[in-house]
Structure 1
Amino acid sequence: MCARRTPDGNGPAMTEMAGKTRFDDIYDRPDPRAYFRRLAPFAYEIPQHAQGVFRRTLAERELGGPPGADGEPVTVLDLCCSYGINAALLNHDLTLADLYAHYTDEAADRLTPGELLDRDKEFYAARRRPDAVRIIGVDTAAQATAYALAVGLLDEAYAENLERVPPSHGLARAMGRVGLITVTGGIGYVSHRTFDALLEHVRIPLWVSAFVLRTVPYDRIAESLAAHGLATTTDPHHLYPQRLFTDPAEQRDAVDRVAAAGADPTGFEAAGRYYTRLYESRPAAA
């Protein structure tokens, strides 16, 4: 998830996401313990579903070539990377349940942030997959991205608000190696502005895999991607659960938004959870 910041106070998070519970206090801590403790009761699960999808998509992207710079595998950019959770699952022999257990046990509670960081370096290094890929993280949360970089989950991290300002020189340069953008929790908090800012600096064929809440429209982002030569597809019947609702008001808002979008919340949002759709964008020629 991205830290919840909008460009001018009237951006997408103030409209499309207005009925969604805010967890602002957990998104930019020195480490992810509060994040996992707060979200555990609501069974936040979308990163686990996305892990397999991203791995398959990355394999297809590499087969579809051409590869990244100097013939090496493409780099992944995880948008709204937070504490590097998608990177942890993609590049390590871990499940999301493992991460919940790791950060909510009593041993973790007793550690200082520095001690936890040292423990996590060893924890992730011992579980690194042999097929791990290079991952760049982008999020507005400086402490969260710094943690993910420090423990080795990210190869590069950029705490930047692309809704407001263009990418830094470092991020613009890094985009030249990116062949896949992934996102699980940020659409609605970031808009087409962020994608436009990133795609201006693409240098190799780019694919995008985005899990998007059914309460949030993706049309404007798809239009921006199309302007950069990417065609977007989705299967409206294949849904992925995100988390339980925090209260009846949040559920009513979600049900109303899904129905207003012409979809049926029966058995999905009406049954108590947010659901997402997967949008895949690839070069139109492919």
Structure 2
Amino acid sequence: MAVSPVTTASGKTRFDDIYDQPDPRAYVRRLGPLEYEIPHHAQDVFRRTRADRSAAGGTDGPVTVLDLCCSYGFNAALLNHHVTLTELYAHYTSPEADALTSAELIEHDKEFYASRRRADAAPVIGLDTADNAVQYALAVGLLDEAHAENLEHHPPSPQLRRAVADTGLITVTGGVGYITHRTFEALLGSQRNPFWVSAFVLRTVPYQPVIATLAAHGLTTETDSARTYSQRLFTSVAEQRRAVEQVLRAGDDPTGLEAEGRYHTRLYQSRPRSV
């Protein structure tokens, strides 16, 4: 594992330089070799959850999905298109993509995604603090709306409030930790339809404050404590050591998981108590 000296206060490696580029190529080149794979695990889960949310009723038309910390829209790509995460990595690291300017890549990706659009595609709203990333996802057709806002420090804009009013499902992969219960609190209360929440959360990050916030708004959260989903390889021995310490402190066992060299997440599903 390569040593990366730039870390967060929690000991996790920072990747700030790749999160807000005009296109995802730097993001893929950095995270691909680390086998960042949580969107792959989420693909089928989010499709099933969206179908269940649709079957539960209470919405007008298709279920609108709000993807938190959406970045370049990969969750939306995997939800609504005939494509895999492996194919996305190959697409953005191909010689063809490498030869294009960002503007040319956007035009190319409009066709790339349009040709793979699923018949059951759902409206997706993207929320992230990285304006360049969400604007890319909007430009290529992955997002129906893009909002670059930080709800940890500011209330949602009127435009975001209107978008949230029609949301039926909130999704997040890996963003909890960057966002806390404050973001969820800011979103809850704007909805017209009952929310469901499907969240993959690192085992190093406490999720109880979010669960409590959701419970205060009538949502019950369930998880399978015996099931985990790998996120990515550690970038350094120091990052791994810190993650193992955090998992132990949370009362979990890192054996065979973080102790073997990868971050792992747990899936939390939240629904109204009446469902």
Q: Specify the code of the residue in structure 2 equivalent to 1:115.
A: E
CA distance in 1, matches of 2:95, 2:183: 39
Trace 1:75-224 onto structure 2 (pairs within 5 A): 75-224=64-213
Indicate the SS of the match to 2:252: coil
Q: Specify the code of the residue in structure 1 equivalent to 2:96.
A: A
Task: Answer yes or no: is 1:257 the counterpart of 2:257.
Answer: no
Aligned CA RMSD, in angstroms, stands at 1.0
Task: Answer yes or no: is 1:50 the counterpart of 2:58.
Answer: no
CA positional deviation for 1:108? 1.0
Q: Specify the code of the residue in structure 2 equivalent to 1:66.
A: G
Match of 1:24 among 6, 16, 24: 16
Q: Specify the code of the residue in structure 1 equivalent to 2:30.
A: R
Matched residue, 1:64: 56
CA positional deviation for 1:14? 5.6
Match of 2:25 among 13, 19, 33: 33
What TM-score do you get using the length of structure 1 for normalisation?
0.93
CA positional deviation for 1:175? 0.8
User: How far does the alpha carbon of each residue in 1:178-210 deviate from its partner, in whole angstroms, 9 at most, with x for none?
Assistant: 000000020000001100000120111110000
Q: Specify the code of the residue in structure 2 equivalent to 1:22.
A: R
Matched residue, 2:234: 245
Q: Specify the code of the residue in structure 2 equivalent to 1:140.
A: T
Indicate the SS of the match to 1:222: helix
The alignment of Structure 1 onto Structure 2 pairs a total of residues equal to 269
CA distance in 2, matches of 1:14, 1:271: 22
Trace 1:1-16 onto structure 2 (pairs within 5 A): 15=9
Indicate the SS of the match to 2:169: strand
User: How far does the alpha carbon of each residue in 1:207-246 deviate from its partner, in whole angstroms, 9 at most, with x for none?
Assistant: 0000000000000000000111101111111100000000
User: How far does the alpha carbon of each residue in 1:126-165 deviate from its partner, in whole angstroms, 9 at most, with x for none?
Assistant: 0000000000000000000000000000000000000111
CA distance in 1, matches of 2:223, 2:186: 23
CA distance in 2, matches of 1:185, 1:24: 15
CA distance in 2, matches of 1:168, 1:123: 32
Runs of 4+ off more than 3 Å: none
User: How far does the alpha carbon of each residue in 1:70-124 deviate from its partner, in whole angstroms, 9 at most, with x for none?
Assistant: x301100000000000000000000000000000111111100010000000000
What TM-score do you get using the length of structure 2 for normalisation?
0.96
CA distance in 2, matches of 1:115, 1:204: 39
User: How far does the alpha carbon of each residue in 1:45-69 deviate from its partner, in whole angstroms, 9 at most, with x for none?
Assistant: 00000010000011111111112xx
Q: Specify the code of the residue in structure 1 equivalent to 2:32.
A: A
Contact 2:8 2:14 in 1 (8 A): no
Q: Specify the code of the residue in structure 2 equivalent to 1:20.
A: K
CA positional deviation for 1:281? 0.5
Matched residue, 1:267: 256
Contact 2:65 2:122 in 1 (8 A): yes
Q: Specify the code of the residue in structure 1 equivalent to 2:16.
A: D
Matched residue, 1:3: none
Indicate the SS of the match to 2:265: strand
